[in-house]
Amino acid sequence: MARKYKRLVFADRQRIEEMRRQGMSEKEIAAAVGVHIATIYRELDRGTGNGKNAYSAEVAQRAIG
């Protein structure tokens, strides 16, 4: 059976930003959003541009085009 992949939309990124601010772990965020933990790691890397430590949904959204 083929895997189903979920693309993150801006609303997902906003949820990730809020959960990250609340101190949730990558594993907890992945479960809440419904994606693989690797997706969260890539997303956090994408949204913490310019050497900042805080994830930003807007930065991540701009990074994908």
CA distance 4 to 47: 24
Per CATH, the number for 10-63 is 1.10.10
| pTM (2 d.p.) | 0.87
| Domain residue ranges of the chain, discontinuous segments joined by + | 10-63
- Give per-residue pLDDT as tens, 13-65: 999 999 999 999 999 999 999 999 999 999 999 998 766 678 999 999 999 87
